[in-house]
Amino acid sequence: MLEVLLSIVFVVHSTGNGGQYTLERAQWYVGNVELHAIDGSSYRIAGYYLLDTDDPQSLRLELPELLPHADYRSLSFTLGVDSLDNHGGPREGALDPMHGMYWTWSTGYIFLKIEGTASASPQPKKRIEYHLGGFRAPYNNIRRVHCAMTSGQEARIVVDVDAFMRTINVAQTPGVMDVRSSADLIDQAVEMFRAP
C-alpha cells in the first residue's frame, strides 16, 4: 500500500512585512488525488479528504491497497472542492458542514482555512483568518496542485504555511473571508505544497 504522508511546516514564523505570526489551525480540502508514474500512466482516487492540523491522523492519507504497481514520481490533487460537488450543497463525511468548512449554498465550501495571530495584525487580539474558496466565475478558485515525489511506499509533501504568509502584508490584509478576496491569494496558497 502506498501511503501519502503530509509533513506540515508551521508554528511561529516571520511574515513578508517583518512581523511574527503563530498558526493556531489550518484546514484544507484535498480531492481527486492522482499519482503519475514514470512510464506516463496515472492512477486517480476520487473523493475528498479534509486535512486538519488539529487532527494529526488526517495528515496521513492511506491510498487503496489495489493501487496498480508502478514507479510513481509525482502526484497531483485538487485544492478545494470542484464545482460539481459544490453545486450539490453540503454533504456527509469530509464534506459535512459540521467541520466548519462550508459558507453557504451560493459560495460553497471553504477550500483552505488558516487561522492564528500576527504581531502586525490590526484586528482585535491580533487575529489573522484566511478562509479561501470560490467555485463560480469570475471567482473560480479551484486549483490543481502538482508535487514531485520519490519512488517507494511513502510520499511526503511539505505544506509550508510560511511560504504563504511571506506573500501577505498582514497589516493591510489580516483576513480574507470571501470568494472575491480569495482570488487574490489562492495562487500563493498553491505554492505552499511542495516536495521536501
pTM over 0.75: yes
Q: What is the pLDDT at residue 9?
A: 47
- The answer to whether 157 and 193 are in contact (CB under 8 A) is yes
Going from N- to C-terminal start, the domains of the chain cover: 3-194
Q: What is the pLDDT at residue 23?
A: 87
Report DSSP state, residue 107. T
- Cα 51 to the chain's mean position, in Å? 8
Q: What is the pLDDT at residue 11?
A: 40
Residues of the chain scoring pLDDT < 50? 9-12
Closest C-alpha among 93, 183, 113 to residue 143: 183
- Cα 143 to the chain's mean position, in Å? 10
All three cell numbers of 74, joined, read 509525482
How far is the C-alpha of 117 from the C-alpha of 24, rounded, in Å? Answer: 8
- Cα 36 to the chain's mean position, in Å? 20
- The answer to whether 15 and 65 are in contact (CB under 8 A) is no
Q: What is the pLDDT at residue 6?
A: 53
Q: What is the pLDDT at residue 51?
A: 92
Closest C-alpha among 20, 17, 28 to residue 189: 28
pLDDT tens, residue by residue, 78-121: 999 998 888 776 688 999 999 999 998 788 999 999 999 999 99
Q: What is the pLDDT at residue 3?
A: 57
